[in-house]
Structure 1
Amino acid sequence: MRKIFLFISIFLLFSSNLVMAAEISEADWLSDLNYLENELPAEHYNLFFKLEKEEFMKEMDKLKNDLPELSNLDTTLRLAEIFAKIGDTHTAIDNTRFLTEYYPLFLKKFEDGYRVIMTDNQYKKILGAKLIAINNYSIEELKDHFNKIITADNQISIDYRISSFLKLNEVLKYLGIVDSKNEFLFEKDGEKIRINFEPLKIKNMASSNNSLSKLDYQTGYVRSNANQLFWSDYIAAEKMVYFQYNSCWSRELAQKHGKPNSELPSFAAEESEILNYIKNKEIDKLVIDLRFNSGGDSSQGTELAEKLSKYQDQFETYIIIGADTFSSAIINALDFKKQLDGYLIGTATMGKPNHYGEVRTFNLPNTGLRVSYSTNYFKLLENSDPDSLYPDITVETKFEDFLSGRDSILEIIKNID
């Protein structure tokens, strides 16, 4: 049995925000909404690139008028609807402190749909099962509902982000998907399984870890160190250098941003090791794996691409991307492609190449809710504006490969002559 660190992190997301949500008066909400209405347009690089200012003000006025009928959570979800219309994936409000209930259902998106990776012991028969519907709403119908509150550059973003929302009882209620009835329909080995989950309290989520059953799967080479910021290896049999870059962060960047942390790995040391492989080993292929990288600071990746460019004629370069490749990681994927004349392989990204970013935050004065916003626009492609960074070679992850630890993308790269 392997720990699934990706899903354990979801516990940390909620448990780190478990401040008791005190009652917030209508006057305090009104004051905060007025503050947001003025502050966000002033601080954002270009807030009204998609939603007209007049429409933004109209939506905010409707929300203010509806305050007497709204709960704290409902108010923030209405704000999420407005932010979804704004259309900047880096502009959002953190409302997790108002979420109180969840279903023990942890899903992962695969080529054939959403599979159960972790659940409560009493439901372990659905481990590995595919979710088919909730209260007779098909997966496509569920996506249509969540389009209202998820800010997305493309359908890929909805496809992958929805899996984190389908466990949230109050959000499902807000969208009219569940009420007193919450029948989840799964399919496993040709059998249909119907489950009515009992909502659990998020405040008890961390302590409930021992009651969870996790899917048995082989970690495999690629996922063996996927919890590290970055790592590299020389695969002698393939004459291949493999560099897995999981976060645009490091000891050096933490220092640069005024957050020194000597326990973080050094990117300079990693870079030196990669260059040492290239200078002293026989290399046919360089693989840069960005499929787990959701961003950070792109500068060190950009500089590495420039340093590697002088060796580009010595090998073929393949840059692995996927749905989780986002923000600064997209910048670096294009850096490596351009500087090394590389091939993108994997699946399309959640984010756009041309995008708003360089995120900053402010807190609403009364509720204390954190609002993030973009302070820059990155135009990485001059002559086009696609909704995603698409691979040159598309390879989807199959559920069976995940279970066995086989990485189909790396296998395909190994077999390219």
Structure 2
Amino acid sequence: MRGDPWPIFTTLTLAPDAPTGTLDLNGQKLELTDVIWSGERLTANAKGSRGPIPIEAMRTDDRLIGTLRGQTERPFELRAFVLPKAAANRLEAWRQDVDALATRFAAADRSFSPDARVRFQEALRSLRREIPRLNDNQIIARMAAAIALADNAHTRLYLLRNRTALRRLPIRLWWFGDDLRIVRAPRDQAGFLGCRVTAIGGVDAATAKRRVAPLFAGNASWQTYKSSYSLSSPDALQGVGVITDADRVKLTLADCPAAGQVTMATPALVPSDKAVEAWWDLSPLKAATGDWVQALDDKRASLPLHLRQPDHNYWYEALSGTNALYVNYSRSQEDATETTAAFADRVLAEVARTKPSALILDLRFNTGGNLELGRDMMQRLEQATRGIPRYIITGRATFSAGITHLASWREAGNVTIVGEPAGDRLDMWAEGGNIRLPNSGLDAHFANAAHSYSPTPCPPDVACLDMASPDIAPDIPLTERWADYRAGRDVALEAIMADLARRGS
């Protein structure tokens, strides 16, 4: 479907002998009603949140060409495909899923280089042959690793972050330097809080991290972020060979009352199509499903600034004792309580009223969303703060639209980046859509639009957002340690305050 500036991937699913179907659009699955074929002409209505969305189209050979008449009229051209017949057995079912990757997914994606595309198809052919000797988790891991050969973090099999399709242990993990720590656990296992995980299934934590890395593409920072999910998933761990039994997992713990070897039973899968961010588990104020405890529960009243409002996508605060303004932008998505545009007006009014001596923009948890929502705010804020020290805090979860905003500030100049390296490179492929595999139901996300934020030109003949940003590596690189976190410190904000003091601001 034609979008601005990106093409919008759309799936229209029609029942062969019934006036029903579904429309997958921008991550939403809308039910179709009043589906009528009159010769080669199709009319239908999609059930939108603001009323029916009329669809009109004509079938031409293997294409369906028409218009979606919602708030904005959007022309579309869809290519027909027929779902495979019901698989006769498990082996056939998995082969159909692999074939969907080799055909429909490969045709839609633009992120593979020619060499990577060859290796992707070779990996799928090898997997197809070896399916009889592999268990389900091994097959899923091999599919994920094949997709990750694109070397593009947006090109991935949705398993543990954008979806919950694999089981997870009843603990949540975070890396503090080289230490893997338990930051959240069920109340009846509160003794595990703060424990350092030294080994999983007898494999030391650093080696286990390297073994799960091929499941998802990305730079070292993004690999660290994603491993918080994979290392807590017995299904993922079995898939890559860290453990053999996905139903019971042996952990070796240290630096806590529960130190020693423990065996955890794997809970049943509760599948979800809602995104889950690993950084949420760093704040005790982010509610968990069930009765869980968190490593900073005893510091709820004195949390560092960046952990105080995990349920809001954006907010700001004037820092006490200084004239610096702190702006937190943790998700490029409309907040439930205030639109991005209204928030932008409020922030700019604050800048005009207080004339801050420094600006601190915190993007360390901004994993992306809709980059268009924040672009105007970022441009206005950049213009309004010229001439004062400006800092951007980044981290392993700074990704996608978070990278866009980071690059735009770096390109504008006069900005100091503080923290961990961001979770992706300056040049990437993104946007795209999902191909749902016919039997497992797993979603494979492809990328079809280029983002060229470095001085390297955009690829030819493709939708592309172009910038010429210098390197986005931190000017003040920092790594948060467990002792800092437990003490309620924010080492990034402390480093900024020290730098301002050095400048005399």
- What is the TM-score normalised by the length of structure 2? 0.68
Q: Which moved more, 1:96-105 or 1:238-247?
A: 96-105
The one of 21, 46, 59 aligned to 2:123: 59
Matched-pair contact (CA < 8 Å) for 1:355–1:379: yes
Report the Cα offset of residue 79 of structure 1: 0.4
How many Å apart are 1:43 and its aligned residue?
A: 1.1
- Please give the secondary structure, in 1, of the residue aligned with 2:173: strand
Distance 2:114 2:95 in 1: 26
1:74 aligns with 2:138: yes
What per-residue deviation string (whole Å, max 9, x for no partner) do you get for residues 31-79 of structure 1?
Answer: 33223212222211242355142x2222211122223334443322210
- Residues 357, 209 of structure 1: CA spacing in aligned structure 2 closer, same or farther, 3 A cutoff? closer
* Superimposed CA distance per residue, residues 336-380 of structure 1 (whole angstroms, 9 cap, x where no aligned partner): 233252111111122111111123222234443322111112111
Matched residue, 2:191: 125
Matched with 2:182 is 116
List aligned pairs for 1:2-41, cutoff 5 A: 25-41=90-106
Where 1:202 maps in the other structure, the secondary structure is: coil
Change (3 A) 1:162 1:367: closer
For 1:4, the equivalent position in structure 2 comes to none
Structure 2 CA distance for partners of 1:35 and 1:165, relative to 1, 3 Å = closer
SS at match of 1:151: coil
Q: State the distance in 1 between where 2:472 and 2:227 align.
A: 20
**Aligned partners of 2:475, 2:298: CA distance in 1, in Å?**
29
SS at match of 1:361: strand
User: Distance between the aligned counterparts of 2:114 and 2:321, measured in 1?
Assistant: 51
Count of residue correspondences: 380
Q: Secondary structure at the match of 1:51?
A: helix
Q: What is the CA–CA distance in structure 2 between the aligned matches of 1:23 and 1:286, rounded to whole Å? A: 62
- More helix per residue: 1
- Runs (4+) of structure 1 exceeding 4 A deviation are 95-101, 189-192, 208-211, 383-386
Assess if the C-alpha contact under 8 Å between 2:152 and 2:429 holds in 1: yes
| Percent identity (aligned) | 19
SS in 1 for 2:445: strand
Say if 1:392 and 1:222 are closer, same or farther in 2 by CA, change over 3 A: same
Contact 2:192-2:258 at 8 Å conserved across structures: no
**Which of these residues, 118, 135, 153, is aligned with residue 89 of structure 1?**
153
Out of 262, 268, 271, which is 2:341 matched to? 268
- Residues 262-411 of structure 1 aligned to structure 2 (within 5 Å): 263=336, 265-339=338-412, 341-382=414-455, 389-411=472-494
Q: Secondary structure at the match of 1:163?
A: helix
Aligned position for 2:326: 242
Alignment CA distance shift 1:298-1:95 (3 Å): closer
8 Å Cα contact 1:345/1:394 also seen in 2? yes
Q: Greater Rg, structure 1 or structure 2? A: 2
Q: Is the 8 A contact 2:185 2:193 kept in 1?
A: yes
Say if 1:246 and 1:293, in contact at 8 Å, map to a contact too. yes
- Which one of 183, 195, 201 corresponds to residue 135 of structure 1? 201
Q: Aligned pair in 2 of structure 1 residues 101, 46: CA closer, same or farther (>3 Å)?
A: closer
> Which amino acid is 2:211 matched to?
H
Structure 1 match to 2:268: 201
Aligned-partner Cα distance in 2 for 1:394–1:128: 25
- 1:167 to 2:240 alignment: no
Query: Matched residue of 1:114: which SS?
Result: strand
**The 10-residue stretch of structure 1 (43-52 or 342-351) with the greater mean CA deviation from structure 2:** 43-52
The AA in structure 1 aligned to 2:153 is T
| Unaligned runs of at least 5 residues, structure 1 | 1-21, 252-262
Distance 1:301 1:358 in 2: 16
Distance 2:145 2:194 in 1: 32
Contact 2:98 2:143 in 1 (8 A): no
Gap change, CA 1:272 and 1:60, over 3 Å in 2: same
Greater RCO (CA < 8 Å, at least 6 residues apart): 1
Q: Within 1, Cα distance between the matches of 2:207 and 2:244? A: 17
* C-alpha distance in 1 between matches for 2:170 and 2:382: 47
Q: TM-score, normalised by structure 1?
A: 0.81
For residues 270 and 337 of structure 1, what CA distance do their matches in structure 2 show?
22
Contact 1:321 1:346 in 2 (8 A): yes
Label 1:217 to 1:345 Cα distance change in 2 as closer, same or farther (>3 A): farther
**One-letter amino acid of the counterpart of residue 392, structure 1:** D
How far 1:184 moved relative to its partner?
1.5
Distance (whole Å) between structure 2 residues aligned to residue 291 and residue 301 of structure 1:
16
Look up the equivalent residue of 1:65 and give its one-letter code: R
Question: Could you say if the C-alpha distance between residues 313 and 212 of structure 1 is closer, same or farther in structure 2, counting changes exceeding 3 Å?
Answer: closer
Give the distance between the partners of 2:318 and 2:334, measured in 1 at CA.
Answer: 21
